[in-house]
Amino acid sequence: MSQDLPIGASPSLVQLNERSREIFRGIVDSYLATGEPVGSRNLARLIPMTLSPASVRNVMQDLEQAGLIYAPHTSAGRLPTEFGLRFFVDALMQVGDLPEDERRSIEAQVAGVGRSMEGVLTEASTMLSGLTRAAGVVLTTKANARLKHIEFVRLEPTRALVVLVAEDGQVENRILDLPPGLPSSALVEATNFLNRHIRGQTLLDARAALEQALAAGRAELDALTQKIVAAGLASWSGGDGDDRKLIVRGHAHLLEDLHALEDLERVRQLFDELETQRGLVDLLGRAESAEGVRIFIGSENKLFSLSGSSTIIAPYRDSTGRIVGVIGVIGPTRLNYARVVPMVDYTARVIGRMLGG
């Protein structure tokens, strides 16, 4: 079973006739609405066709043998399996467009005037969390910020502070080791040179252009100053081994609607996984090479295999069309997929437009 196919791309795993399809859809819809098992008597009242509870039970047995539903207890009620949820999402779920009023609301909340890009992403994850009653998550790359100013400030004879200011107002500092005997004029020259060339560029673009200029001998700098320029840029270009930033908002929503102690343990496990972050960054990173929305259900990803959670994520792009981050939500497997998918997709597109995409 594919773990990260686009919506609708998974092949039909089971051929269901109309009766089986409606009963299975009724079981899934009931689970997404209540989280509770549903029995044949209630299903017979819910589905849009006239069937006796006995007929419904017979179909439920077939669905159970196909691995699409299961009985959590000895009662007659049934829930969809993770396999069943994947089949529902890929083959049966209908995803419509967002209503115009919801589109306007998302745009108004995300595109706040005067907000930094980090502020936009934080607001977007907070908004998605509120709309979906799940945790909102954003993975972005620090190197995607457009640069405004860089400065070298000597702290000690062999150490300097490198201050980088982005156009969205973010400020970051790095400590840089200096060659012994480096004159202060070299730091001034490196500062002036970089500020003439980096403004408005992303860090990755600026680094590539400057490395090319230095290699071609077009940069009128002495050897020591060239080293400072290269080291200053390298300190942001993954020099610390972690150039990704993770934003998580709305943890509290994951505590809502708990039915039993095992649910509490599931959410505690999820909190632990969110706190470690590394696995989540890797999971979200899988969407960076993909088109459109991705849905991971329960044990389809190792990160949430124990906590029984689902993740719905979509990439967003910069002005060049390059994927530069991922936004989405994490919640219980009974997320309202049909409602959440277009929300996540549209929010990602709004962010992309703000980046000039």
Q: Residue 207: give its domain's CATH number.
A: 3.30.390.10
Q: Considering the domain boundaries, does residue 3 fall inside one?
A: no
Q: Considering the domain boundaries, does residue 159 fall inside one?
A: yes
How many Cα atoms within 13 Å fall on the side-chain side of residue 76? Answer: 12
**What average pLDDT does the segment 256-279 reach?**
64
- Specify whether the CB–CB gap between 270 and 306 falls below 8 A: no
Average pLDDT value over all residues in the chain: 78
Q: Please give the share of the chain, as a percent, with pLDDT higher than 90.
A: 16
Q: Which residues, at least 6 apart from 284, have a Cβ–Cβ distance to it below 8 Å?
A: 137, 139, 246, 313, 326, 328
Q: Of the candidates 218, 238, 258, which is a domain's last residue?
A: 238
Q: Considering the domain boundaries, does residue 289 fall inside one?
A: yes
Is 130 in the same domain as 273? yes
Is 63 in the same domain as 26? yes
Q: Which CATH number do you get for residue 272?
A: 3.30.450.40
Q: At 143, is the pLDDT very low, low, confident or very high (cuts 50, 70, 90)?
A: low
Is 251 in the same domain as 315? yes
The tokens describing 260, both together, are: 């039993």
Tell me what pLDDT residue 100 has: 93
Is 196 in the same domain as 223? yes
b/e string for 69-94 if b means 16 or more Cβ within 10 A? beeeeeeebbbbbbbbbbbbbbeebe
16-74 pLDDT, tens digit each: 788 889 899 999 999 998 888 998 888 888 887 788 888 888 989 999 998 999 998 76
Full residue range of the structural domain in which residue 286 is found: 100-143+243-356
Is 318 in the same domain as 234? no
Q: Which residues, at least 6 apart from 165, have a Cβ–Cβ distance to it below 8 Å?
A: 147, 148, 149, 150, 171
Say how far apart CA 313 and CA 141 lie, in whole Å.
16
Q: Considering the domain boundaries, does residue 206 fall inside one?
A: yes
The answer to whether residue 239 scores a pLDDT higher than 50 is no
Please tell me whether residue 169 adopts helix, strand or coil conformation: coil
Q: Considering the domain boundaries, does residue 260 fall inside one?
A: yes
Q: Of the candidates 92, 108, 135, which is a domain's last residue?
A: 92
323-354 pLDDT, tens digit each: 778 899 988 888 899 999 999 999 999 988 88
The tokens describing 185, both together, are: 């004029």
Q: Of the candidates 238, 255, 279, which is a domain's last residue?
A: 238
Q: Considering the domain boundaries, does residue 86 fall inside one?
A: yes
Tell me what pLDDT residue 240 has: 45
Question: For residue 159, which of 228, 222, 207, 214 has the smallest C-alpha distance?
Answer: 228
Number of separate domains in the chain: 3
The tokens describing 98, both together, are: 């967002």
Say how far apart CA 148 and CA 19 lie, in whole Å.
62
